[in-house]
C-alpha cells in the first residue's frame, strides 16, 4: 500500500465514516426542523413561512457545521494546526528561507571570520586584583579581540582586493552589562581565573562580530623555574634540532593542559634572546641539552613564557646546571 500503514488507512477510514455520519445527521436535523417550521407557518423578520423555513434550515446547518469543526479542532491536533497554525508556519518558512539565503551567500563567498563559540583571545587574571585593574585587563582583552578580528577581515580583504580596515575601527559587539558584571565578579574572587572572549555566533566578513565573555577557575600547569621540556642536541645539526625542540615544547605544554588559540600559545623568544641562544649553542664543543624553563607560574590560559637554557653534559652523561 505504498508508504501508508494499515493503521493509517484504518484511521482515515474512521474519520471519513465520522464525517459521513455527521453530515447525514446535519441533513436530517435540518430537514426535520424545516418541516416543523413549515407546518406551524412561523415567520421570522417578516418573511413568508416558506422562506423562514429555508432561513432556519440554512442557519441550523451552518451552526451544526461550525460546532462540529470546533469539536474536531479541540480533539485533533492536525485540525487545530490547520486552523490556527498557518500564520506561524508562514513565519517559520520565511525565517528558514532567510537563513538558507544567508548560508548560501556565506558559503559562496567563504566569509566566516569566527565560528560560533570559537575562542578568540584569552588571559589569566590573578586573584585579588582591584576593580580598576580588573577592568583594565578586561578592556585590554576586548581590544585584542578587536585587533584579531580586524586582522582576519583584512586577510580576506587582501584576497578580494577590498580596502583594508584600519586598526582604529571597532569591529566587535558585546553586552556592556555582561562586561560590568563579569568585572565585579572577577575583582572580588581570590582565585586565579581564566578569562576568554568567544564568538557569540557565526561572524561574517565586513560585519561586527558579536562576542561573549566567560571566566572560570584555572589550574596551574607549570610552576616558576619548572622545566617544561628538554632535549639532548646532536652537535652536527644543532639548529635543525632546535626548531624541532621548540615545536615539541609547544606540544608538551598543550598536552599538560595549556590552551592554545589558533593552535598557538603565544610567548616565544625575542631577537636578543634568540641571538644569545645561538651564541651559547655555537660555543658548545661536546654534547649538550636544551631546556625550556618557565619564567613564572603558567596556567591554562597563560602564554608560554619560557627561557631556553643550554646545559652541558659531562663525560658520564649527566647534565651540568
Chain centre to alpha carbon of residue 163: 29
Q: Do 208 and 113 contact (CB within 8 A), yes or no?
A: no
pLDDT by residue, tens only, the chain of 321 residues? 445 567 666 766 676 677 667 767 766 776 666 666 666 665 556 666 666 666 666 776 676 667 666 666 565 556 555 555 566 667 778 888 887 877 766 565 557 889 999 999 999 999 889 999 999 999 999 999 999 999 999 998 898 888 999 988 999 999 999 999 999 999 989 999 999 999 999 888 888 999 999 999 999 999 999 999 998 876 677 677 888 888 899 999 999 999 999 888 887 777 888 888 888 877 877 778 889 999 999 999 999 999 988 888 766 656 665
**Cα–Cα distance, 229 to 291 (Å, whole number):** 6
pLDDT at 1: 47
Predicted local confidence at residue 248, as pLDDT: 92
The answer for residues whose C-beta is within 8 angstroms of residue 270's C-beta and 6 or more apart is none
Query: Cell 415567520 maps to which residue?
Result: 43
Three-class DSSP category at 225: coil
Name the pTM for this structure.
Answer: 0.62
Task: Tell me what pLDDT residue 45 has.
Answer: 61
Unique residue bearing C-alpha cell 564568538: 199
Given a contact cutoff of 8 angstroms between Cβ atoms, the answer to whether 288 and 225 are in contact is: no
Look at residues 123, 105, 114 and name the one whose alpha carbon lies nearest to residue 155: 114
Q: Rounded to whole angstroms, how far apart are CA atoms 290 and 285? A: 14
- pLDDT, position 214: 94
Q: What are phi and psi of 119, to 5 degrees?
A: -65, 135
Residue 27 has a CB neighbour count (10 Å cut-off) of 13
Count of alpha carbons within 13 Å of 14, Cβ hemisphere only?
Answer: 6
Amino acid at each position: 500500500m505504498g508508504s501508508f500503514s494499515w493503521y493509517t488507512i484504518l484511521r482515515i477510514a474512521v474519520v471519513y465514516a465520522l464525517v459521513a455520519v455527521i453530515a447525514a445527521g446535519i441533513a436530517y436535523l435540518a430537514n426535520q426542523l424545516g418541516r416543523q417550521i413549515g407546518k406551524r407557518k412561523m415567520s421570522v423578520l417578516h418573511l413568508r413561512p416558506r422562506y423562514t423555513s429555508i432561513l432556519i434550515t440554512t442557519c441550523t446547518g451552518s451552526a451544526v457545521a461550525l460546532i462540529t469543526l470546533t469539536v474536531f479542532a479541540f480533539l485533533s491536533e492536525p485540525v487545530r494546526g490547520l486552523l490556527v497554525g498557518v500564520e506561524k508556519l508562514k513565519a517559520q518558512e520565511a525565517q528558514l528561507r532567510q537563513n538558507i539565503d544567508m548560508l548560501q551567500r556565506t558559503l559562496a563567498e567563504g566569509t566566516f571570520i569566527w565560528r560560533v563559540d570559537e575562542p578568540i583571545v584569552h588571559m589569566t587574571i590573578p586573584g585579588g586584583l582591584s576593580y580598576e585593574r580588573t577592568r583594565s585587563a578586561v578592556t585590554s582583552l576586548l581590544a585584542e579581540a578587536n585587533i584579531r578580528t580586524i586582522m582576519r577581515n583584512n586577510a580576506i580583504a587582501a584576497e578580494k582586493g577590498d580596502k583594508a580596515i584600519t586598526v582604529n575601527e571597532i569591529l566587535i559587539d558585546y553586552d556592556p552589562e555582561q562586561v560590568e558584571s563579569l568585572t565585579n565578579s572577577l575583582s572580588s574572587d581570590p582565585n586565579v581565573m581564566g578569562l576568554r572572549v568567544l564568538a557569540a555566533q557565526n561572524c561574517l566578513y565586513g560585519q561586527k562580530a558579536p562576542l561573549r565573555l566567560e571566566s572560570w577557575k584555572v589550574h596551574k600547569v607549570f610552576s616558576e623555574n619548572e622545566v617544561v621540556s628538554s632535549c639532548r642536541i646532536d652537535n652536527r645539526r644543532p639548529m635543525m634540532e632546535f626548531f624541532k625542540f621548540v615545536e615539541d615544547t609547544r606540544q608538551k605544554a598543550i598536552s599538560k593542559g595549556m590552551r592554545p588559540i589558533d593552535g598557538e600559545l603565544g610567548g616565544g623568544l625575542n631577537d636578543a634572546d634568540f641571538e644569545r641562544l645561538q651564541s651559547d649553542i655555537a660555543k658548545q664543543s661536546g654534547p649538550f641539552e636544551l631546556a625550556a624553563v618557565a619564567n613564572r607560574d603558567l596556567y591554562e590560559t597563560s602564554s608560554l613564557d619560557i627561557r631556553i637554557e643550554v646545559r652541558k653534559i659531562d663525560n658520564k652523561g649527566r647534565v651540568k646546571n
